[in-house]
Structure 1
């Protein structure tokens, strides 16, 4: 994840997710709606992997009474989040680090978008447990990230589809081929069944799939 500290890469960050993640803007809006089903008008919301500020801006604009704690390991990405938020940053506290850097809460809702696929299965479970510990009973938690079959045929098929979508969205073909190889063979992504099992093992219930787009999946679950 070194590119999240490179200043030129950080400056261009917003271009990447929009080209790589099918329906990114809709994913953010759906996440907001799922949180708002249970979170009160004055909710305190934990956003893990908040660097860049894209989802924070959507959430803050959509719910003017919510306050947020955003956590990310990259100082440069947190700076970008602050710039993205503009005056909305007054309702957001940004914390550099991992889940251990998050306040104890309790939070009325939480999200972790496009982040968990970077973590090993063991570290992912520990992170999910720490998120769960900081949440109010019954609070909604939304996650979305790469999640696809881990057998060789499945990895090749779905990573190729992901790459084809990115190229069709304007990403350089040569760069995307290298990215496809990383996703298929190095990214510690789990299968959808393993992802759902991890959420349940961390103490979340009523795990439901709400988003599926090539290699990406998204779930809502409850503390």
Structure 2
């Protein structure tokens, strides 16, 4: 019981802060679901990269009862949250959670109908590792399958990024975070390339193209984050 209460508290804090950082977070998932539904229909297998937290499960599983989910995340603690949500939603029979990276996926006869990688890419330091991840995602998708990528983006030295950063900071200040705490987060995380690897929008799109994705379309932008929809070739 104590472990469940601790997990609930961690989930609540994680989800609260995520929704401050991305005020349109729930709308983002609703937009992705709409696109998936049109592309996939009732029956689909989805690959979720960075499945810890389980937000993809809670956003998409209840209203799409024939979709199945394979989630991958290196964090054991985050996967506990995803498993907890799957149990609460009663969808354990449609969810497979794997601790590790995409290379740890079990061999299977068929590829996935769709994939998502939400708020993961900027935590991968090396550009070639980013490219490797995107290429592996594409290799695990059926031909023409939709893929959604959401990541922080920009050039830290560019005035446009600084303007967006000020907008992003306002989300936390308006949520009654202390100014010193917000500055600490900016300096210790957002502006620290050792913590977060932020690359420009055009570089993200080049990586997607190099990985074999086509019809690359930016469909979303809020604060520091952007979202792209594309398709495997």
Match of 1:100 among 100, 103, 107: 103
Confirm or deny that 1:209 pairs with 2:218: yes
Report the number of matched residues. Answer: 218
Query: Unpaired runs of 5+ in structure 2?
Result: 1-5
Partner of 2:199: 190
CA distance in 1, matches of 2:45, 2:115: 9
TM norm structure 1: 0.90
How much does 1:184 deviate? Answer: 2.3
Aligned residues of 2:153 and 2:198 also touching (Cα < 8 A): yes
> Is residue 145 of structure 1 aligned with residue 151 of structure 2?
yes
* Residue-by-residue CA offset, 1:169-188 (whole Å, 9 max, x unaligned): 34443222122122123221
C-alpha distance after superposition, 1:194-216 (max 9, x if no partner)? 11111111000000011011211
Residues 114-123 or 204-213, more deviating: 114-123
1:167 is displaced (CA, Å) by: 2.0
Match of 1:115 among 120, 126, 133: 120
Q: CA deviation at 1:152?
A: 4.5
Mind listing any 5+ residue stretches in structure 1 that lack a counterpart?
1-5
Matches within 5 A, 1:45-124: 45-85=46-86, 86=88, 87-104=90-107, 105-120=110-125, 121-124=127-130
Structure label with greater radius of gyration: 2
Alpha-carbon separation, structure 2, partners of 1:58 and 1:147: 24
The 3-state SS of whatever aligns with 1:13 is helix
| Deviation per residue, 1:25-73 (Å, 9 max, x gap) | 0011111112222124221100000101012111101211000001111
In structure 1, distance between residues paired with 2:160 and 2:106: 39
Instruction: Give how far 1:11 is off.
Output: 6.1
Equivalent-residue separation in structure 2 for 1:171 and 1:53 (angstroms):
26
